[in-house]
Amino acid sequence: MSQGLNEALLARMTLRRMPFNYTEGADAHWNRNKPEFSQIVNSASMAMPYLEPYLIRSMREVRSKISDPVLQDQLDQYVYQEAQHYQQHRKYNDSISAQYACASSIEERLAQDYKKLERDKSLRFNLAYAEGFESMALAIGHMLIEDREYLFGDADSTVASLILWHFIEEIEHKNVAFDVFEHLYGSYFWRMVGLVYATGHIFLRTGQGYRSLLREDGLWNNFKSRKRHTRVLLRIFRQLIPKWLRIWKPGYHPSQVRDSQWASDWAAIYTRDPLQSAQLDTTRFNEAHPVALSTQQGTT
């Protein structure tokens, strides 16, 4: 990539400290109309304090091997954003862990997975995993934003804001892991290995986690709940699969994926008032200005 393009991409990343306020004992079914989706998200959230430090360590390990100083700076900003993500998820996860006996086994399994990857796999593989996850996260981010009204409408403001903030920043740093991997290895084969492995691993562990959470809720064997669960998964995958498949194109680069206007609108609100961006009004996602924040509900 050219120096000018690298510098333009660097300018897109913003280093934020989000003022989320997690209520102790908050309802794990943060979307009361969609408890199954709530637990899918909760399970994925449990992975973040283990996955993202692993990504950070993998990226930091190769920093000295990068000859492009602008790409080094991008890597540093990526690390900052990812560190903020897992720290916020850790705080939120504490409220889930306090309510579910199965949470400790879910998290222990994830911790062991990433220890094993670092111990047994090559640096090339771990960096390919990082790139694969980031490419998948870009696809997920666009899917969540596009379907935000259905997935997050009328949900708890803090949790909805946490998830959307996280994936807005995934969109912001979408190029970094790809460019680092290409700079050092430039292998289409290994990039696909990382994509397939990361996708399969994350979806396997997330599935195991939300099934355990729903069993503890007494919902997993409930016919109506299973029907709702199947419906939401089909909806997610119907939108996600085309976005995931485009990553397989040999000439693919994340910069080819146009950024969401809604994400840009959210970033503008953060610039004006970080507290508002952490308290999205989830009843107004369908308005013309999609980051709609109520000035009458204490969010100003």
In angstroms, the Cα distances linking 255 to 80, 151, 171, 180, 247 are 21, 26, 10, 14, 11
Give Cα 162 to chain centroid, integer Å.
10
Q: Secondary structure of the chain: what % helix, strand, coil (to 5)?
A: 70, 0, 30
Q: Please check whether residue 279 lies inside any domain of the structure.
A: no
Q: Please check whether residue 154 lies inside any domain of the structure.
A: yes
Domain hosting residue 47, numbered range: 31-255
Tokens of 220: 């997993």
Name the pTM for this structure: 0.91
Q: Please check whether residue 55 lies inside any domain of the structure.
A: yes
Q: Please check whether residue 88 lies inside any domain of the structure.
A: yes
**Consecutive H or E run containing 265:** helix 261-272
Q: Please check whether residue 226 lies inside any domain of the structure.
A: yes
pLDDT 10s digit of each residue in the chain, 300 long? 444 444 444 447 889 999 998 877 689 999 999 999 999 999 999 999 999 999 999 999 999 999 999 999 999 999 999 999 999 999 999 999 999 999 999 999 999 999 999 999 999 999 999 999 999 999 999 999 999 999 999 999 999 999 999 999 999 999 999 999 999 999 999 999 999 999 999 999 999 999 999 999 999 999 999 999 999 999 999 999 999 999 999 999 999 999 999 999 999 999 999 999 999 999 887 664 555 444 433 333
Tell me, what amino acid is at 4? G
In angstroms, the Cα distances linking 79 to 53, 198, 249 are 9, 19, 27
Tell me, what amino acid is at 175? N
Q: Please check whether residue 295 lies inside any domain of the structure.
A: no
Q: Please check whether residue 13 lies inside any domain of the structure.
A: no
User: Which residues are within 8 A (CB) of 125 and not within 5 positions of it... i.e. 6 or more apart?
Assistant: 117, 190, 193, 194, 197
Q: How many domains does the chain have?
A: 1
Q: Please check whether residue 115 lies inside any domain of the structure.
A: yes
